[in-house]
Structure 1
Amino acid sequence: MNYRSFIFLALGLSFTSRSSAQELVIPDSLPQIQIDVDSLSARPLELSARRLERIDSLAEAGLRMGAYPGCQIFALHEGQVIYDRAFGSMTKLGGKGEDPTNIYTLYDLASVTKAAATTPALMLLVSERKVKLNAPLLTYLPETGGTLLGMVTVRQLLLHQSGLPAGINFYTDLIDTASYEGALIRYKAFSGGVPLVGKAWGNPNFRFLDEYIAMKRSEKHALRFSRNKYIAPDFKERMMERLLNVRVSSNKSYRYSDLNFLLLQQIIERVSGQSLDSFVEERLFRPIGARLYYCPLEHGVKAEAIAPAQDDRFLRGEVLRGTVDDETAACLGGVSGNAGLFGSARELAKVAQLLLQEGKWEGKTIIPERTVRLFTETLGDGGIRALGFDKPRRSGGPTGALASSRTYGHLGFTGTCFWVDPEYDLVFVFLSNRTYPSRQNTLLMRERLRQQLQDLLYEAMGIFSPRE
């Protein structure tokens, strides 16, 4: 990527940006920089402006149908910004509110964290031969020795072929079981219950154990659980105890599990001697100038610059704005291998572009080319996963139909995604907070809006044939 392209990606206002029409809310730690718009590269001539406008129309249709309060869409082709727009509101479904989103708004990236932070961190350690893909977990976490968990390999964790269940409700260990009546979680509606995910309902009338949760930060309760609650760091030990006792299936076919990336986080931290957030900031984000954050409130980012992820009326009893939506990540103080990263579409695109450039940035090698290829081209069960990345399917699946079979990236629960397509030298990023105010809102997935928007971008490039 040349200097002009880098400035365009990092700071510029693209030809499609609407941000000048609204007052930008920019985090204190992300100072506004004056840009000479005339010096920026124009879009490639082969792109159809009329077809690009169809992306606008579909994004706005998503607002009207209530699929999300607001969203960002960002795309790079051959290192040039070809689309950069923000739509709607941070908080009001229908897209009209007093707090419009903009190109600087930070979103909770949810499981995109797996592919934008945890997996690149593993790439670095594998390239340095500090971690081996075929090594069993007990090599790096000796406490797993003598268990089936200890025999699971790093490769199996990355491919979601570990035999581990989808997840564990670790947060139940934070709650005083004597403080509520009946079941904490039920699978049918009940008076006073709060709808959760799917058919689950939660009983919000409980009390946290003082041992783990407090309303004020202290030496004992040092990590942020939510904006107004703090968690004891030693709860991580309790989480590891539950992981050590989890049932590991002998069936190693594909099953998506957040637990895989909790364990990968532990490997990264044990081997590097650093916390995951410190490691990726030092080795990945800072070298490419990507303003991506775990725990953005701790970095001086104002809550008003962050799109809220959820009005959590069950567990944390507050709007989650700047604190991670994912409960497991919250139990780790917001820094987790499965979720926890925050950022804007243009900042996330820098990590995607780094991968597309096979680990090179401004003439420097951040991740060795052979390692990027190893992770992005090694396929698991059924070819639906690479090492740490999701892949297209023969039909349906997480990507649009026009994305090539070489495409890789990841979806996020809050309504996010990024996709890298080496075949067409293309990066596509979509961010939203479809979970606000409620996780019950599944219109984004039901209508496959992310996939449709991605396909419209390909059509604007003159690509109309679905992958084989």
Structure 2
Amino acid sequence: MLRSLFLFIALFLSLGSVAEAQEPHGLDSLLGRLIDNDSLPQPREEPLPSHLDRVDSLAKLGLRLQAYPGCQIYALHHGKVIYDRAFGSMTRLGEKTGDPNTPFTIYDLASITKAAATTPALMLLVAERKVNLNAPLLSYLPETKGSLLGMVTIRQLLLHQSGLPAGINFYTDLIDEESYEGALIRYKEFKGGVPLVGKAWGNPHFRFLDQYIASKRSEQHSLRFSPKKYIAPSFKDRMMERLLSVRVKADKSYRYSDLNFILLQQVIERVSHQGLDTFVQEHIYRPIGARLYYCPLEHGVKAEAIAPAQDDRFLRGEILRGTVDDEAAACLGGVSGNAGLFGSARELAKVAQLLLQHGVWEGKTIIPSRTVKLFTETLGAGGARCLGFDKPRKHGGPTGELASHDTYGHQGFTGTCFWVDPRYDLVFVFLSNRTYPSRKNTVLIHERLRQNLQDLLYESLGIITPRT
């Protein structure tokens, strides 16, 4: 299945070796304060089995192809660590030395937030009968009453069958329309334009509205928008206004949308009377000792311990290192239901393992098992999703070919993923910052490196039959 790929790997590896970082360099004192190493699953002490060398080879090939500056790969089988390695740099493409990536490096997890924060939070509220999956949104957000949005159910939001569009460029309301000429976003190259995603180009020559964005933190501008910019919490009201006016299609077939999880965040916060970040820390992460963060810079994490997600030359005019890459999440000050979570592969794996263990951690029930089963086994249209999680497809799709049909998890835009496979009692985590310095870098996606790395882990365990 992967024979041609391995020939390609062998050709590249014959050109030289790749520097690999296994231990932290220069950040020992900081990381010692931030991470309780005794709480981490410990890697195998014996040498890496030869059949896992191919995972190393493909990860290093990704460096040579400049698919990412660096990456982390972590895997658990039957609750034991079978793979725990970091490759490359936090900031430098193409095997360049310096600024080494380590297993302790913190990444912007992007849309993994949906499955590792928002969905577990909803699991708890559903288990406590504070949220009903079949209830319409208006039951929790009264301001949606009288609109088609208010009739969308919690279940439909979790399955991405709400009829909502993929997203909204909320940030356009932060910008003074009189401060630039022509269109803010164009779909062909133009002088002075900045390439965005796909064929889009952005005009960076604009000014933010003072009422929303400031260069210094104040009572009015209290939330971090980027490393050197702050946003007014009042902008959330403007975002809700735009959500209330959005067109909701009658067709409830599958359509992935960030808006679904931004709305689910509002439900969680209204029902729990806590911010989403506080809720998941208190009820999920702290009980299992998972060092995952929204807004890591606000928690004392130094930027140098975090892999930058993007050199944003269009909207924020800064390198995003410790502030969320996703614009909608940035408009909410970094805490959102669709994105905003940060962490390492080791720490994210704890949440994955909690789910694999049916919500039980060290003998204590964190999430009721029946609720984990409900969320991970309830399928949506075409089996493309379960409640809050992505699923394998018959052909292609987000997982490797060897992952079972029972597998669930999520990918992230910045080049991340985690997958839980109950059939094989396996957790696989891959983190990278493929979007640094530019989001235009899609080598990781086009070469399906995440999927191929996952398949190599399965093959190392003797699992060689693709799902059918």
- What TM-score bracket applies, with the shorter chain setting the length? over 0.9
Q: Paired residue for 2:175?
A: 175
CA RMSD of aligned residues (A): 1.8
Between the aligned partners of 1:247 and 1:394, the Cα distance in structure 2 is 31
1:263-303 deviation per Cα after TM superposition (whole angstroms, max 9, x unaligned): 00000000000000000000000000000000000000000
1:296-355 deviation per Cα after TM superposition (whole angstroms, max 9, x unaligned): 000000000000000000000000000000000000000000000000000000000000
Between the aligned partners of 2:29 and 2:101, the Cα distance in structure 1 is 13
Between the aligned partners of 1:26 and 1:185, the Cα distance in structure 2 is 43
Q: How much has 1:97 moved relative to structure 2?
A: 2.8
Question: Counterpart of 1:260 in structure 2: which amino acid?
Answer: N
5+ residue gaps, structure 1: 1-17
**Residue aligned with 1:428, SS:** strand
Matches within 5 A, 1:15-414: 23=25, 25=27, 28=30, 31=33, 42=44, 49-414=49-414
**Residue aligned with 2:131, SS:** coil
Q: How much has 1:40 moved relative to structure 2?
A: 5.9
TM-score, with normalisation over the residues of structure 2?
A: 0.93
Kindly indicate whether the alpha-carbon contact (under 8 Å) linking 1:195 and 1:202 is maintained by their aligned counterparts in 2. yes
Q: How much has 1:62 moved relative to structure 2?
A: 0.2
Identical-residue share of aligned pairs (%): 77
Question: Counterpart of 1:239 in structure 2: which amino acid?
Answer: M
Q: Paired residue for 2:463?
A: 463
Q: How much has 1:20 moved relative to structure 2?
A: 5.1
Question: Counterpart of 2:30 in structure 1: which amino acid?
Answer: D
Q: How much has 1:28 moved relative to structure 2?
A: 3.2
Q: How much has 1:30 moved relative to structure 2?
A: 5.0
Between the aligned partners of 2:235 and 2:32, the Cα distance in structure 1 is 32
Question: Counterpart of 2:273 in structure 1: which amino acid?
Answer: G
Q: How much has 1:50 moved relative to structure 2?
A: 1.8
**Residue aligned with 2:417, SS:** strand
- Give the 3 Å change call, closer, same or farther, for CA 146–177 of structure 1 in structure 2: same
- Give the 3 Å change call, closer, same or farther, for CA 32–331 of structure 1 in structure 2: closer
**Residue aligned with 1:28, SS:** helix
Between the aligned partners of 1:346 and 1:98, the Cα distance in structure 2 is 23
Q: How much has 1:33 moved relative to structure 2?
A: 7.5
Between the aligned partners of 1:166 and 1:112, the Cα distance in structure 2 is 16
Q: How much has 1:31 moved relative to structure 2?
A: 2.5
Q: Paired residue for 1:14?
A: none
- Give the 3 Å change call, closer, same or farther, for CA 148–41 of structure 1 in structure 2: closer
Kindly indicate whether the alpha-carbon contact (under 8 Å) linking 2:21 and 2:100 is maintained by their aligned counterparts in 1. no
TM-score, with normalisation over the residues of structure 1?
A: 0.93
5+ residue gaps, structure 2: 1-19
Between the aligned partners of 1:442 and 1:41, the Cα distance in structure 2 is 31
**Residue aligned with 1:86, SS:** strand
- How many residues align? The count is 448
1:208-267 deviation per Cα after TM superposition (whole angstroms, max 9, x unaligned): 000000000000000000000000000000000000000000000000000000000000
Q: How much has 1:70 moved relative to structure 2?
A: 0.2
Kindly indicate whether the alpha-carbon contact (under 8 Å) linking 1:26 and 1:32 is maintained by their aligned counterparts in 2. no
Q: How much has 1:51 moved relative to structure 2?
A: 1.7
- Give the 3 Å change call, closer, same or farther, for CA 136–27 of structure 1 in structure 2: farther
Q: Paired residue for 2:6?
A: none
Between the aligned partners of 2:214 and 2:42, the Cα distance in structure 1 is 50
**Residue aligned with 2:386, SS:** coil
Q: How much has 1:29 moved relative to structure 2?
A: 6.4
Kindly indicate whether the alpha-carbon contact (under 8 Å) linking 2:43 and 2:84 is maintained by their aligned counterparts in 1. no
Between the aligned partners of 1:288 and 1:311, the Cα distance in structure 2 is 34
**Residue aligned with 1:31, SS:** helix
Between the aligned partners of 1:449 and 1:129, the Cα distance in structure 2 is 41
- Give the 3 Å change call, closer, same or farther, for CA 27–209 of structure 1 in structure 2: farther
